[in-house]
Amino acid sequence: MHRRSLLLLGLVGASAPLWGAGADPVESVMWDYFHQRLLGSEPYVFDPRVVLEAPPFAEDARQVPIQVDARAFTGQVVKIMAWAELNPIPRIFIFEPGERVEPLLAIRIRVEQATPIRAAVLTRDGLWHIGSTRVDAAGGGCTAPSVVRAQAGWEDRLGQVHGGRFPLGDGNRLRLRIDHPMDNGLVGGIPEFFLNQAELRDASGKPLATLELFPAVSENPTISLQVRGSDDARLWLRDNNGNEFEASF
């Protein structure tokens, strides 16, 4: 009986999720802190199926492109969260794709120094799947003076959306740039002023996806999404001062 029990225990353990199994691929001393602070110490696994792409070195620390691709979990994604662990303001975004939006997002961010970057994908079974990478940088991207504010007439262009939708397979790729300084409050005398909410909506106004943004996002932010089908869509944006903007595609 004792031997049969050990065998049964081994079979159950082999089929159960190995929460937290495997070593941290970027060996960050900050992982436990962010696991508790942002994920509430919930079950997780480091998962290469969460593809987090970023340049190995940030040529411009104020404009670092990253892309999170969680299409391996299409139909199972509840939300995607991203952060840069050694930034003074770590959080980047919280993305909730709907049924018609792929769990794929590209955006540009600031980095203050070389840092691990994480993308955490929550699936319907309550497990966080963690994608990881590391970006080297000369530094200063978060505390550098604003380029946008040095441009004449930037206030008149505030909230303008540039870009469009491009056919891709059975859907469309949305590639957008929004005119906004995205002030993070770290430059002397300039308070926080940034886009913090976005929704992609259908023609009737029903949300297709929601996106919460944080001041780690770059000035004049660029966002790329992938939408199934070819129906019209509208992008709604709001900043922390209550300004609202809309654009249709």
- Per the CB < 8 A criterion, the answer to whether 180 and 221 are in contact is yes
Residue 187's nearest CA partner among 137, 215, 145 is 145
Q: pLDDT tens-digit profile of 156-169?
A: 999 999 999 998 88
Higher pLDDT pick, 1 / 112: 112
Q: Which amino acid is at 117?
A: I
pLDDT at 9 over 60: no
pLDDT score at 139: 84
Contact 92, 214 (CB under 8 A): yes
The pTM for the full model equals: 0.90
d(CA 198, CA 215): 14
Give the pair of three-digit tokens for residue 222.
């660029």
Determine the pLDDT at residue 232.
Answer: 86
* 3-class DSSP state of 121: strand
Q: What is the CATH number of the domain that holds 125?
A: 2.60.40.2470
Query: Residue 95 domain-assigned?
Result: yes
So what's the pLDDT on residue 231?
A: 82
Could you tell me if residue 2 is inside a domain? no
Strand order across the beta sheet in which 101-109 lies: 51-53, 64-69, 101-109, 222-228, 171-178, 161-168
119-175 per-position pLDDT tens digit: 999 999 999 999 999 999 988 999 998 999 999 999 999 999 999 999 888 889 999
Tens digit of each residue's pLDDT (9 = 90 or more) over 37-53: 999 999 999 999 999 99
Judge whether 9 lies within some domain. Answer: no
Domain count, the chain: 1
Instruction: Print the domain residue range for 142.
Output: 19-248
150 within some domain:
yes
